[in-house]
Structure 1
Amino acid sequence: MPSVPHDLLDQCAREPIRIPGGIQPHGAVAVLRPEDLVVIQASANLGAILDRPVAFDGSQTLGDLVGPRTALENDVRLWAGGTDTAFLEQYQIDGRTFHVSGQRTSQGLILEFESFDEAERGRSASLYQLLRDFLDNSDGLKTVADLSAGVAAEVQTLTGFNRVLIYRFDEDWNGTVIAEKGDGTLPSYLDLRFPASDIPAQARELYRTNRLRLIPTATYTPAPLIPALCPTDGAPLDMSFVALRSVSPVHLEYMRNMGTAASLSISIVIDGQLWGLISCHHAQPRYVGPQIRAACDFLGRIVAQQIAARERAAEIDERLQLKNIETELVAHLARAPGFQAGLVDCASQWLALTNSAGAAVVTNGIVLAAGKAPPIDSILALVEWLRTRNVDQIYATRSLSADWPPGKNIAGVASGVIAVPISRLHASFILWFRPEVVQTVRWGGDPRAAKATDTAGRLHPRLSFEAWKQEVRERAQPWRSAELLSAADFRGAIINFVLQRAEERAQLTEELQRSNKELEAFSYSISHDLRAPFRHIAGYAELLGEEEPDLKALSRHYLDGIIAAALSAGELVDDLLHFSQLGRTNLKMSRIDMTKVMAEIRRSLAITEGQRPVEWEIGVLPPAWGDTTLVRQALFNLVDNALKYSRDATPPRIKVWGQDRPDEVLYCVEDNGVGFDMNYAGKLFQVFQRLHRQEDFEGTGIGLALTKRIIDRHGGTLEAKGAVGQGAAFSFTLPKRQTGGNRGHA
């Protein structure tokens, strides 16, 4: 919205509205010393109001002023010795009736005198009935709007003012007229908005603490206090709670510019906060006596309680609805593999938690979004900005661009934002978004002209209150309290969920580690114990064949089968033993010359290669960092596999190459063999899993599983790609030295 210059706001803030040094002249003030009721300060018009001579030199007591041993003096003396902070009574002084109210302050006892208006006696007699009727009827006013309209009508009946407005503040302290009752004398302000600068912060605070203020005429001349400074402490008298306190000249000019000659304001205070005002205006001077003002104050308190009750009831209903949504959503997340994916799967409930149009969850730099959300790069930039703000519990705004200028670019989907952090270590957030709502706001006058100064530097209010329209952008619908509480509660549920999953993973990891160690020990024991029997079987079968040269062909075939099976079982046991030992061996890390390793592998495979013409293509192989023996074994297994499964190709082609990357080194072994179906690629690296028949290609089914375990222990990755009849490519990565690897047990 348009803003008021800071120097004018500062000037407003400096106005001495609590210590004006004078009062409105429809009454008079006397300041008494508590211990002896000596009049130490008084308004200049005290003698005229009481029709008695007043000495302003501290020589008079209250008894001297109003008569000794009168009811007023006795009551004030009792009050001075008690603990009550205030009182209000009627007293007779020289046959005239006065309303006398008192305030206890650190500077003295402040008494206010107002003459009783006989014209108001008739209205006072009906106050009880009016208030009772309103209370009886208010139960049927279900909404705040209906209640406000009813209050405006009731106050207008009580006070007789031409126009009564119900004025509600928003979060920026702009006020909107939400209800009005008038007799047509003054123009209607219903639905108009008034800028926060019309009622500065210090004035709002006085409205909060002193709930009622009457200005019978906007043209009065203040009656000064004599002496100007309070003798108790030599400071101006604090009149924050004095009903007769003189108001700011700027406010009086504001009233005159508005065409208002008299006003009465009744504050609506809810839970200690200023919610709004009941503001009464009259075209001519108008006085309302203390009894009717007290009735209006009582009505204001009742209305505040009823508004609070309705708003709390509405909030409770909404909280229950949102809590039900949260319960359903959390129940679904408990069954999901991860809460991020679970949120996306239940996008409608996720958005309904805060009645948002879009949402996103950001964890480890990954963004998952639902509904109408900003682009991913904008979400990441927003999260980084939130991280720099050290958001601890919740961040909420209806105008993101006001806090974060780049938010202007995403106002169409994210003018309103709620963000809750879900990690203390990482920039991880759950966010909800609301788009801007382009509004045409009707102001009671151009707020840009809210204050002005003349050539002498004196502050003046604006002159015009004609309706002025403004298009407001980059502002979403405000977040309600229930929605903010819902987001905060959901944050707690997600954090508990993540912690629970972390505990479950830790427990599962511990159980898996224990099971792995038991399985490794079992595998080692079985493998070690089986090696000797299989070797014995093969050895005795060979001896039997040598000692019985005349065996029949069928018996010789059976004997050869026993030897082959025993040797195959022995190889299997050896591979199992090697596989189980791998998890129990520490890695001995060093620089590895992979070109040299590949040359050694080719020499060792020369016998396997035999006389087959194999086309080798060995590319550049960057050095690696790892356990030389294990890395050689991993590469050997891949090359041996490539030779085995490409032996029927014409001719077999094996390609081995490497690539140096910023944080890792890649090695790849490609062949033109039988290949495999990618639908079964997940089985390749499991123990005993084969994609081809044993009769077609020999092997134990452990080699690739062993290779994967070696690469995993180094902190690398192993991948396979292939197609049936088109060959296969196996690649693995090894981290460079700076990132290291797992040097301990798996």
Structure 2
Amino acid sequence: MTTEQTSLEQAIERCAQEPIQVPGSIQPQGFLLVLDETDLRILQASENAERWLGVPARALAGQAFAELVSASFDLRARLANLPGDEIFPFHIGDTRLHDGAPWQAPLRVLAHRHDQVLILELEPHRGTAQGSEKDNYYPLVRAFVSTLHQVTSIDELLLQSVRQIKRITGFGRVKAYRFDSEGTGTVLAEDADPGYPSYLGLCFPASDIPRQARELYRINRIRVIEDANYQPSPLVPASNPRTGKALDMSFASLRSVSPVHLQYMRNMGTLASMSLSIVVDDQLWGLVSCHHDQPRPVDFQTRTACELLANVLSLQIEAIESHDSTRQLLDLRQRIVRMLGSMADHDSVSDGLLAQPEVMLQFAGASGAAIISAERCDLIGATPPAALVNALAHWLARRDGEAVFHTDNVHRDIEELPELARHAAGVMAVAISQIHSHYLVWFRPEQAHTVNWAGRPEKSVGLQGNLNPRHSFERWQQEVRGFSAPWHPLIVEGVLELRGAVLGIVLRKAEELAQLAGELKRSNKELEAFSYSVSHDLRAPLRHIAGYSELLGEIEGEQLSERGKRFLGHIEDAAQFAGTLVDNLLNFSQMGRSALRLSDVDLNTLADTIRTELVPDYAGRDIVWEIADLPKVIADPAFINMVLHNLIANAIKYTRGRAPARIEIGAVRHRHELEFYVRDNGVGFDMAYVDKLFGVFQRLHRMEEFEGTGIGLASVRRIIERHDGRVWAEGRINQGASFHFTLPLNPKSA
């Protein structure tokens, strides 16, 4: 940042901190008295009071107000009509000054209570701009109000308002402009006499009205400057005796204004102005600004009528915007209901939203969207690449702040991801999990546009380091890039509603899953107990069958016919197979009952041991073994031995008939887990039946072709799942198969 830029920023900040509500002086078209309301004696007076009263301001301190005015004006009685909650100047009546005062014409007396004192402003009666027939503005105001119900657009409402205000005041130019979220004001309506420059459709930069001035416009809805070349009249004494500080004149009609603003007016060719605030939902929505190229008095009645019109205008704008907001909110909620209904009909939030892609985009007025969870990143419409979207999710996870993040300028607000700005200008994201980094994200494209400024918005710094008001008010165009359409507050509010509903759905599904898991756990325990009981009870009769058939063969074998011997052999084989099946079933049931005893397991040593044990099963066969350097894992050694034993034994069995047979054992390291696989070039299987592979008693090959009980792979799955891992298989008929399982790098139970 250059020295010049730093100086300008400092000057702008000093301007924004100028205490404009305590200027210490007034405009001289009237005079101001500060009273102690208990005794109605004067505490402060504007210096120009001498012009009206014939008494120096410093001599007025301590004097009773009654001594300065006509005896017929009873201030105490008049103050009884001042509403207790009234903070704005209130017309309590007219009075003449004491005999001998230089000014003998009637004066209007405006009173308000503020800063622990009673503030009186006295100003002369003055003819209205349109002549005496307009002294009563009631018919004009009534006619204006009666036509408002026919107006349906804000632009038309503003145009009618500026025309009516110009008619009442006689100012040469009256314009109405609206502030955007950044404070830039755009002129939406204007009525001007010939010779006045037109600002219709032009923009005034936010820096033209410092933040403290905006706040003053919000709370005090009218401000009049009758002559931009006026000489301010200071208060005497300078401090409010009740506070020891400068008098707060936030609500005073005669309050003096900043010299910077007066110079701004003169630079603009304006010597008189009146500003009327448009306040909607207690926020400064815009201004009606009246300009004249010559000094111009504005009578109290004129000000009152215009202030009333501005209040009616504010209420009407609020009603129109409220109606539009209600309609927009209804549309948003209808789309929320459709998305929630789809989520409820699907197994996950992602699947539900993916089933309604157009609704999700229309909901936020977006061109693209993303649904991000721990396992996946689903994209809808025009979005950045998935890698950038995931990077955005990581960035969102690191930031602290509101549940909803939104920006209309990604390049400005997400500096860590410069590449993102090449694909989207606007981003809105909401977290849909209180634990995990799960997000819904919407994207908007760049909306390049031209801004027509009322002059170049740049400002300069004076020799004293103060901000110089700009001189340029000629139309100046600026091409604005890098911005998307801004996210409407109602859309942000709708996103928060959607988030709350999604969290509710997720919580309800989690409760349902927890309940289902509990029921499954009970069923599994009952099934395991039943399996154990059946297996245990079957062992004895099977042993008896095997034993008696063996005795029968030994004792009566010579007397049996060949057919009888064959039947007896079938009985012995069946009994032996049934015994093996019962033993395997018993082991399977015990897998869910036995506690895991985790320790370091060397899988290379384990694989070598299993190969040695299985040598009788592949003696005389040509098998090419490819065993990688397997990492050590933390697991239950006995159970992992059963897993590898089953997978290697299956590879040996199903490669029977291959010459040579190839069996590969390897591992792949992932971010949070280790993946192991056993691959062979055997008979393979049809992937259409892959879901049956790991079920109990499920077989894809006939017993005559390949022996087995159908429990081995079911045991593999149960063991791996107990280790918080995953298991799956891939294969093609006659082209081999591969079986995979994973183990976590950091087991929870370790």
TM-score range, shorter chain: over 0.9
**1:446: Cα distance to partner?**
0.2
2:53 is the alignment partner of 1:36:
no
Following TM superposition, by how much is the alpha carbon of 1:431 offset from its aligned partner in structure 2, in angstroms? 1.6
- Among 265, 269, 273, the alignment partner of 1:263 is 273
Distance 1:501 1:26, change over 3 A: same
Instruction: Tell me whether 1:538 sits opposite 2:546 in the alignment.
Output: yes
Letter in 2 for 1:673: G
Q: What is the correspondence of 1:399-410 to structure 2 with a 5 Å cutoff?
A: 399-406=409-416, 409-410=419-420
1:661-676 maps to which residues of 2 (within 5 A)? Answer: 661=669, 668-676=677-685
Shifted more, 639-648 versus 78-87: the winner is 78-87
Contact 2:14/2:466, CA 8 A, preserved across alignment: no
1:237-284 Cα shifts (integer Å, max 9, x gaps): 221111011111221111111111211111111222111111111122
Say which SS state the counterpart of residue 652 (structure 2) adopts.
Answer: helix
Matched, 1:25 2:28: yes
1:648 maps to 2:651: no
**Shift of the alpha carbon at 1:330?**
0.5
Which of these residues, 252, 256, 260, is aligned with residue 250 of structure 1?
A: 260
Choose 634-643 or 127-136, whichever is displaced more. 634-643
Q: For 1:436 and 1:672, locate their aligned partners in 2 and report how far apart those are by CA, in whole Å.
A: 55
**Pairwise CA distance, 1:311:** 0.4
Deviation at 1:661, TM superposition (A): 4.1
Aligned length: 735
* 1:101 equivalent in structure 2: 110
**Against the structure 1 CA distance between its residues 32 and 647, is the aligned structure 2 distance closer, same or farther, given a 3 Å change threshold?**
closer
Specify the alignment match of 1:322 in structure 2: 332
Q: CA deviation at 1:713?
A: 2.8
- AA matched with 1:108: V
CA distance in 1, matches of 2:334, 2:283: 30
Farther off after superposition, 590-599 or 255-264: 590-599
**2:458 is paired with a residue of what secondary structure?**
helix
Counterpart in 2 of 1:236?
A: 246
Which residue matches 1:368? Answer: 378
Unaligned runs of 5+ in 1: none
2: distance between equivalents of 1:74 and 1:432?
64
In 2, are the aligned partners of 1:657 and 1:668 still within 8 Å (CA)? yes
| Structure 2 residue identity aligned to 1:248 | S
What is the CA–CA distance in structure 1 between the aligned matches of 2:608 and 2:470, rounded to whole Å? 92
Relative to structure 1, the CA distance from residue 138 to residue 614 in structure 2 (aligned partners, 3 Å threshold; closer, same or farther) is same
Work out the CA distance in 2 between the residues paired with 1:148 and 1:604.
Answer: 93
Moved more, 344-353 or 640-649: 640-649
In structure 1, how many angstroms separate the alpha carbons of the residues matched to 2:284 and 2:203?
A: 17
Q: Does 1:567 align with 2:555?
A: no
Q: Is 2:438 the partner of 1:428?
A: yes
Q: Which one of 74, 77, 91 corresponds to residue 75 of structure 1?
A: 77
Rounded Cα–Cα distance in structure 1 between residues aligned with 2:582 and 2:326: 69
2:23 maps to 1:15: no
The Cα shift of 1:394 comes to: 1.7
Distance apart, 1:235 and its partner CA: 2.6
Alpha-carbon separation, structure 2, partners of 1:740 and 1:106: 69
SS of 2:150's equivalent?
A: coil
Give TM-score scaled by structure 1 length: 0.92
Secondary structure (helix, strand or coil) at the match of 2:720 reads: helix
Task: Please tell me the residue identity of whatever aligns with 1:239.
Answer: M
Residues in 2 aligned to 1:535 and 1:54: alpha-carbon distance in whole angstroms: 124
Deviations 1:112-157 (A, max 9, x none): 1111114566254441111111111111110111111111111111
- 1:467 and 2:475 aligned: yes
| Residue of structure 2 in register with 1:333 after alignment | 343
1-side partners of 2:531 and 2:55: how far apart?
114
The letter of the residue matching 2:118 is: L
Q: Secondary structure at the match of 2:298?
A: coil
Match of 2:646 in 1: 637
Rounded Cα–Cα distance in structure 2 between residues aligned with 1:664 and 1:473: 45
**Aligned CA-pair RMSD:** 2.7
Aligned partner of 2:747 among 734, 740, 746: 740
Select between 709-718 and 564-573 the one with higher mean Cα deviation. 709-718
Amino acid at match of 2:713: L
Does structure 1 residue 481 correspond to structure 2 residue 489?
Answer: yes
- Looking at structure 2, the residues matched to 692 and 381 of structure 1 have their Cα atoms a distance apart, in angstroms, of 47
Asked whether 1:58 is paired with 2:61, we answer: yes
Find the residue that maps to 1:470 and give its secondary structure. strand
The aligned amino acid for 1:444 is A
Cα distance change, pair 721–505 in 1 and its aligned pair in 2 (3 A): same
In structure 1, distance between residues paired with 2:744 and 2:120: 86
Any idea what the Cα deviations from partners look like across 1:63-104, whole Å, max 9, x if unmatched? 110133x22434356469977555204414166322110121
Give the letter for the 2:648 counterpart.
V
> Secondary structure at the residue paired with 2:578?
helix
Q: Distance in 1 between matches of 2:83 and 2:563?
A: 129
Counterpart selection for 2:721 from 707, 712, 715: 712
Structure 2 Cα separation of the partners of residues 666 and 271 of structure 1: 60
| Unpaired runs of at least 5, structure 2 | 98-103
TM-score, normalised to structure 2's length? 0.92
Deviations 1:160-188 (A, max 9, x none): 11111102111111111111112223111
CA deviations on 1:31-60 (whole Å, 9 max, x unpaired) are: 222122222321222242356787624253
The one of 148, 160, 171 equivalent to 1:161 is 171
Partner of 1:386: 396
| Partner Cα distance (2:512, 2:252) in 1 | 66
8 Å CA contact 1:383–1:429 kept in 2: the answer is yes
Partner Cα separation in structure 1 for residue 560 and residue 466 of structure 2: 129
Which runs of structure 2 are paired with 1:564-603 in the superposition (5 Å)? 564-603=573-612
Distance 1:409 1:619, change over 3 A: closer
Deviation at 1:434, TM superposition (A): 1.5
